[in-house]
């Protein structure tokens, strides 16, 4: 539920005044847009959270190093090639992308970030990428956010955008975002890219703290297939143009800003789960009354990530035993003899055992485009939610021929 002081507005990254974006076809993909630039002429506070995979793409390694300084003007992003596992040449190519973008924009190269997504282990076609960057720089506009959101897609079926407004000290603050992700999605950052903009006044260290806090509740609570990619990134740029005093941790202003950031990230995270490769159903798993937030998160993610239960959702089979089984191996602390389970509003288990329920009603619930599973551990007061999707025949078809 959206808090009453957060207003959802149209748009994405360029809904925030001062940010420009573009999306163009550079030729990395046959026909679709495949290269984007996000830019602000003002040097912005910058923060990022990245994949936990030990194998990291060259673009990600470069961005991780540059963002340590805490400031950036923007990011250049390509789809169609991950620039991962390409050795020293990959690092050279990533740097060349930022150098080309910085030259076009008239900024210092060290303040340009880079991100890539696509096939792993194939050399970057720089003869296409570099002219594409020139083209994208020439098309930057305040209306370019949607094109940018389309240009970062891989197997995504739809672009993913969100924007909100809120007030801090009487000043309107806008937060916008775009993301891509469909397969290789799993907690602790998945094969997803997310780029968030805001005009809030906030120091890099505080922005980093807020982002990490929010990512743990949102992007790290989604799963599609259990794979964690080499390129996963969430980047935030804050221009400071809103005009309020700097946001400080532990204040009402910090809580308001973090709530707005969470709203954007949650919407993008749910859109990624909903758009899982071959998916027909968004799966929401709510675990309540856990002893700790860690236990709640462990249990929710285990159920959302259970291939057996994901198949049951696709088959509209109310096999609640697979839910309890997943909670059991999650690592969460609870008493199996106290657990209640609901599919939608239909209770299917009580105190760890079967109860009479309507198979027809349960089947109807599982056939919806969004299914909410509630697991009541009755072991505390903490709650967490995770999001995933069903596992379908189409997922196998897509990933059986990903390179072709």
* % helix, strand, coil for the chain, step of 5: 35, 30, 35
Residue 27, C-beta contacts closer than 8 angstroms, at least 6 positions apart: 34, 125, 128, 132
> Which stretch of DSSP H or E encloses residue 96?
helix 87-105
Let me know: does 391 contact 398? Beta carbons within 8 Å: no
Let me know: does 176 contact 196? Beta carbons within 8 Å: yes
CA-closest candidate to residue 24, choices 77, 60, 73, 63:
77
SS3 assignment, position 371: strand
Sequence-ordered alpha helix ranges (H) in 235-354: 252-274, 293-305, 307-314, 321-329
Please pick, among 155, 191, 218, 392, the residue that the annotation labels catalytic. 191
* Nearest-angstrom CA–CA distance, 238 and 85: 31
* Nearest-angstrom CA–CA distance, 182 and 264: 18
**Judging by beta carbons within 10 Å of its beta carbon (0-12, 13-18, 19+), is residue 14 exposed, middle or buried?**
buried
Provide DSSP, 326-339. HHHHTT----GGG-
* Nearest-angstrom CA–CA distance, 169 and 17: 18
User: HSE-up of 267 (CA within 13 Å, CB side)?
Assistant: 23
Let me know: does 177 contact 196? Beta carbons within 8 Å: yes
To the nearest 10 degrees (0 to 180), the angle between helices 58-66 and 87-105 is 50
Let me know: does 30 contact 64? Beta carbons within 8 Å: no
* Nearest-angstrom CA–CA distance, 381 and 393: 38
Residue 52: active-site member: no
Let me know: does 383 contact 268? Beta carbons within 8 Å: no
Q: What residues are annotated to the active site?
A: 191
């Amino acid at each position: 539920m959206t808090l009453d002081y957060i207003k959802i507005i149209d748009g994405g990254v360029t809904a925030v005044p001062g940010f420009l974006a573009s999306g163009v076809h550079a030729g990395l993909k046959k026909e679709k847009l495949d290269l984007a630039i996000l830019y602000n002429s003002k040097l912005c506070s910058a923060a990022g959270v990245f994949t936990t995979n030990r194998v990291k793409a060259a673009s990600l390694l470069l961005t991780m190093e540059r963002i340590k300084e805490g400031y950036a003007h923007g990011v250049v992003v390509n789809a169609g090639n991950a620039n991962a596992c390409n050795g020293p040449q990959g690092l050279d190519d990533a740097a060349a992308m930022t150098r080309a973008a910085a030259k076009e924009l008239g900024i210092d190269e060290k303040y340009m970030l880079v991100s890539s997504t696509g096939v792993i282990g194939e050399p970057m076609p720089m003869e296409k990428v570099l002219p594409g960057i020139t083209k994208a720089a020439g098309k930057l506009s305040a209306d370019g956010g949607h094109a940018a959101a389309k240009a970062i897609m891989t197997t995504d079926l739809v672009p993913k955008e969100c924007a909100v407004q809120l007030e801090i000290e009487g000043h309107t603050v806008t937060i916008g975002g775009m993301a891509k992700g469909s397969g290789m999605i799993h907690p602790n950052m998945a094969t997803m890219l997310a780029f968030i903009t805001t005009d809030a006044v906030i120091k890099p260290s505080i922005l980093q703290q807020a982002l990490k806090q929010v990512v743990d509740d949102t992007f790290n609570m989604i799963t599609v297939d259990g794979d964690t990619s080499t390129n996963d990134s969430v980047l935030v740029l804050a221009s400071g143009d809103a005009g309020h005093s700097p946001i400080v941790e532990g204040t009402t202003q910090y809580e308001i800003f973090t709530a707005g950031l969470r709203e954007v990230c949650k919407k993008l995270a749910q859109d990624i789960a909903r758009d899982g490769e071959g998916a027909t159903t968004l799966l929401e798993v709510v675990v309540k009354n856990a002893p700790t937030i860690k236990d709640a998160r462990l249990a929710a993610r285990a159920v959302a990530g259970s291939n057996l239960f994901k198949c049951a959702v696709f088959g509209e089979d109310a096999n609640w035993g697979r839910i309890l089984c997943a909670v059991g191996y999650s690592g969460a602390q609870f008493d199996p003899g106290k657990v209640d389970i609901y599919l939608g509003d239909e209770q299917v288990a009580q105190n760890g055992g079967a109860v009479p329920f309507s198979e027809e009603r349960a089947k109807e619930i599982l056939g919806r485009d969004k299914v909410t599973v509630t697991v009541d551990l009755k072991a505390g007061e903490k709650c967490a939610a995770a999001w995933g999707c069903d596992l379908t025949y189409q997922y196998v078809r897509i990933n059986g021929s990903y390179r072709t």
